[in-house]
Amino acid sequence: MINKNANIIVTGAAGFIGSCMVSFLNQQGYEQLILVDEFGDQDKTPNLVNKKFILKIERDELFVKLQEEKIKIDFVFHLGARTDTTEFDYRIHQKLNVEYSQNIWNYCSVNSIPLVYASSAATYGNGQQGYLDDNTLIDELKPLNPYGISKNEFDKWVLHQEDHPPFWAGLKFFNVYGPNEYHKARMASVIFHSYNRIKETGKVKLFRSNHPDFKDGEQLRDFIYVKDIVSVCYWLMQHQPPSDIFNLGTGMARTFNDLANATFAALDKAPSIEYIDMPEDIRDSYQNFTEAKMDKLKKAGYPADFFSLEKGVDDYVRNFLSQHQYY
């Protein structure tokens, strides 16, 4: 157990998942938090309003500041990354998602600090090898974009390390949605964009299928509510099962039509869906089906059920988007 006085680092703390992690830790009574991010982005500033923490550190200054401050760190949630799947300059992903993560890992290893880090379902590429979080398959995965490649390269590197934190877990996040993604613009969830489109036009626009096996709007994704993400991260911190890389989705793929219908229902409106052509820059790297195999996390002991798509969307729309609230 990590006690309430623990000093906990959260990287990516001003971002979508990171700020939700900070809020969840605050709710559990943890306030000795060290937040790491690029804090110059004013669009992310509201994510941290009313959050409790002891220190904010710019991402590039982290290791120098830790040396200067002489703070004993008890746990690290490494949730910061360059997550833009349309950024095709791999050097950016290499620096931020691979090399920076290696520095975090090495710091935790040398100082015996437990670590939870964010990987991604983007590592699975088109799913040709399936969605099984079997470490023996990681070398065979073929991600479809530089972001997915960088996440997979770090996972591969982790599995070859002789020196490691006393506990570590990598989490392959599937399609995460929920509050505090207002700043993400194009990279925000389809639910966020659908909500705004319905409010403006009364309709939702979904991509036409680019594959004969899928009808328009029937592409399938494993959508997971951010509240489930932070719950799993917290459980891993408290229970520290055998170290591993885990999938983190619901285990239940749902269609984009289901998602749109759930958004209309949360707004108490009748569905109206229009299908549009998929942008060329994502067409070749588009995942038509993702579904997390969740047996490993369940066998590790995680006890809770996940939000259904309908319940997650309803909570997100009614309690956050409709009121422009933050988590």
Question: What residue ranges do the domains of the chain occupy?
Answer: 8-177+223-252+287-307, 182-220+254-283
- 307 or 286, greater pLDDT: 307
Q: Which residue has the higher pLDDT, 88 or 106?
A: 106
What confidence score (pLDDT) does residue 250 get? 98
Angle at 69 between CA 65 and CA 71, to 5 degrees: 110
pLDDT at position 167: 98
How far is Cα 175 from Cα 201, in angstroms, rounded to an integer?
25
Residue-level pLDDT at 279: 85
* Secondary structure E strands in the chain: 8-11, 33-37, 55-58, 75-78, 115-120, 168-173, 175-177, 204-207, 220-221, 223-225, 244-248, 254-255, 273-276
Residue (of 45, 327, 323) closest to 199 by Cα position:
323
Per-residue pLDDT of 116-133, as tens digits, reads 999 999 999 988 889 999
> In this structure, which topology does domain 8-177+223-252+287-307 adopt according to CATH?
Rossmann fold (3.40.50)
> Is the pLDDT score of 88 beyond 80?
no
Residue 67: CB atoms within 10 A of its CB come to 9
- CB under 8 Å to 12, separation ≥6 — which residues? 18, 36, 37, 78, 79, 80, 81, 118
How much is the pLDDT for 86? 65
More confidently predicted of 41 and 312 = 312
Mean pLDDT of the chain: 94
pTM of the shown model: 0.94
For the cut 70, the answer to whether the pLDDT of residue 84 exceeds it is no
Q: Is the pLDDT of residue 203 over 90?
A: yes
* Of the candidate ranges 88-92, 213-217, 304-308, 311-315, the one whose mean pLDDT is the lowest: 88-92
Tell me how far apart the terminal alpha carbons of the chain are, to the nearest angstrom: 25
Kindly report which listed range (3-7, 68-72, 168-172, 223-227) carries the lowest average pLDDT score.
68-72
| SS3 of residue 291 by DSSP | coil
Res. 83: pLDDT tops 70: no
Q: What gap in Å lies between CA 175 and CA 223, rounded to an integer?
A: 5
Specify burial of residue 223 (Cβ count, 10 A radius: 0-12, 13-18, 19+): buried
Chain-centroid distance of CA 272 in Å reads 29
Cα 115 off chain centre by: 16
Task: Find out whether 291 and 219 touch, Cβ atoms under 8 Å.
Answer: no
Q: Please list the active-site residues.
A: 147, 184
Residues 6 or more apart from 212 whose CB is under 8 A from it? Answer: none
Is 288 or 225 the better-scoring residue by pLDDT?
A: 225
CA 133 to chain centroid, in Å, comes to: 16
Residue 251 C-alpha from the chain's centroid:
15
CB–CB of 137/129 below 8 Å?
A: yes
Could you give phi then psi for residue 86, rounded to 5 degrees? -100, 5
Q: How much of the chain exceeds pLDDT 90, in percent?
A: 83
The predicted pLDDT at position 95 comes to 86
